[in-house]
Amino acid sequence: MVKREIKNTFITGLLIFIPISATLFIIFWVFRYIEDFLHPYLSQYGHYYPGMGWLLIIGIIFALGVLGRFTLGNKLIEFTENQLRKIPIIRTIYIGVKEATKAILVSETERLKGVVLIEYPRKGIYTLGFTTGAIIEEAREKTGKDLINVFVPTSPNPTSGFVILVPEEEVIYLKLKVEDALKVIISGGFTK
């Protein structure tokens, strides 16, 4: 019994440690990359101070945000995106990065509407899922059923998973909050 508790505690610790350390590593790597890239250019125009690259990047991001909020700027950004989408390899990279950015910046609770139970992978076994609020009209027309889009996340990384279309009468709605369901999935079922 003690052995199993030690093992479960260690696994829980790993589930906490790995995402935190991976996130810190990526942030550090990006910071170093930006600094190393901008250092020679910033040094030409005066004294270089560590962190100036970040200030420049934040300024560019803010300027693009201001530009994107106005009609003329929005048209310019739209035009640029359309041009990028015409270039074969660049299109694939750009669309992938843009969708990944949306997925990261839009919170889970904004994307996921409610927590549900569905019978999956077979009858009698239930899986937690999230309704997304999106409806595929053609699927409804072809099947003659009201289908609910259900995102079934994988554990411990709830950003990966798959979408299945489930007939509405087979969906069991739960009062569980999205945040609480995500905790269960991230912890691999160790938390309530």
Residues 92-148: tens digit of each pLDDT: 777 777 766 665 555 544 455 788 999 988 889 999 998 877 778 888 888 888 888
135, 146 contact by CB (below 8 A): no
- Of residues 96 and 36, more confidence is placed in 36
pLDDT of residue 118: 94
Look-up: residue for tokens 């040094």?
43
Rounded to whole angstroms, the Cα distance separating 166 from 148 reads 5
pLDDT of residue 109: 47
pTM here is 0.46
64, 46 contact by CB (below 8 A): no
Q: Report residue 186's pLDDT band, with 50, 70 and 90 as the boundaries.
A: confident
Rounded to whole angstroms, the Cα distance separating 130 from 110 reads 12
Nearest to 170 by CA among 107, 92, 106, 118: 118
Question: In sequence order, which ranges of 45-177 are alpha helices (DSSP H)?
Answer: 52-68, 71-84, 88-105, 108-111, 137-143
Strand partners, 169: none
Percent of the chain with pLDDT over 90: 10
